[in-house]
Amino acid sequence: MSITLRGRQLGDRALRSLLTTVFVVAAGMKLAASEFETSNFARFGYALWFMYAIGVAQLMGAVSLWIRGYVAYGALLLAVLMAGGAVSLLRAGDPLVMAVPALGLLALACSLAFARRNELRSR
């Protein structure tokens, strides 16, 4: 195995690990109905059931990052969720700087989906 391929595989695993950690924690906070999450969803004007749906979707996306052939789909799901999160923050009147973490995760998820784009064509 070449050094370049090994480096790409390591980078791929590191990115999937980072995204998985972030989204499993975020999903756990939503599914546990933490005060932080419930107050934010109320502030955004969303129903409580929607918070649980987003938590389940985040968990599904994180798990998909480790299923062969579904990494790109999981990354795209997480990217869509982060786009929605950034829009929700901005619509609520938060400053742009509050959306930066969501936009950063959006960029990381999109880069993973792009790197695994061959999975999207095979279905």
Average pLDDT over residues 76-83: 98
- pLDDT at residue 122, as a whole number: 54
3-state secondary structure of 67: coil
**What domain count does the chain have?**
1
Domain range for 75 is 3-121
Structure-block tokens of residue 34: 């933490």
pLDDT in tens, 25-79: 999 999 999 999 999 999 999 999 999 999 999 999 999 999 999 999 999 999 9
CA separation for the pair 123, 117 (Å, rounded): 11
Q: Could you give phi then psi for residue 70, rounded to 5 degrees?
A: -120, 5
Q: Radius of gyration over alpha carbons of the chain, in Å?
A: 16
H-helix or E-strand spanning residue 119 = helix 118-121
Instruction: Name the band, by pLDDT with cuts 50, 70 and 90, for residue 110.
Output: very high
37 CB-near residues (< 8 Å, 6+ apart): 29, 30, 51
Are 56 and 27 in contact by the 8 Å Cβ rule? The answer is: yes
pTM for this one?
0.93
Q: Is the dihedral of CA 11, 16, 19, 24 positive or negative?
A: negative
